[in-house]
Amino acid sequence: MDEKINNIQEEIIEEFSKLNDWFDKYEYLIDLGKSLEPLDEKLKSEENSLSGCQSKVWLKAEIRGERILYLVASDSLITKGMISLLLRVLNNQYPEDIVNADLYFIDKIGLNTNLSPSRVNGLMSIVKHIKSYAKVAPNINK
């Protein structure tokens, strides 16, 4: 397991542990969503659209050197906040590390238990797509 990925997850867990309740954590997710870099409108295509999410999500992966860069957007601020956390952990990592990453921070900060079931399903769908791109990484830019 990549130590860098785990270190980032520990940072996120520490940040969330400083927030008093789930209202504060939702506010933090929304703030993260507002700070997510916007996706180029031409990438918001049907080809890049993900199914399995309550809100609209677009995901594009690119190989940069030996690492994967993910470009992701959503029409929901909370979803964008969750995406921001995933990108912080997985963006610009080696494909093998992404595929093998145990994203334990999702449980540790309480996303699985404090979000609606449809949001949790959407989050898991995004994780699945991110990992599936990493599995086929050599073929992404072709």
Q: Using one digit for the tens of pLDDT, what is the confidence trace for 75-121? A: 999 999 999 999 999 999 999 999 999 999 999 999 988 888 888 88
Q: Which member of 5, 53, 61, 78 is catalytic?
A: 53
Residue 114 lies in a domain: yes
Q: How many structural domains is the chain composed of?
A: 1
| Range of 1-5, 52-56, 82-86 with top mean pLDDT | 82-86
* CATH code of the domain in which 123 resides: 3.90.1010.10
Please give the model's pTM, rounded to 2 decimal places. 0.91
Residue 52 lies in a domain: yes
Buried-state track 71-107, b at ≥16 Cβ within 10 A, e below 16: bbbbebbbbbbbbbbbbebbbebbbebbeebebebbe
Residue 53 annotated as catalytic? yes
Q: How far apart are CA 54 and CA 139, in angstroms?
A: 29
**Would you say 65 and 137 are in contact if contact means Cβ atoms under 8 Å apart?**
no
Q: How far apart are CA 78 and CA 55, in angstroms?
A: 10
Domain that holds residue 38: 3-136
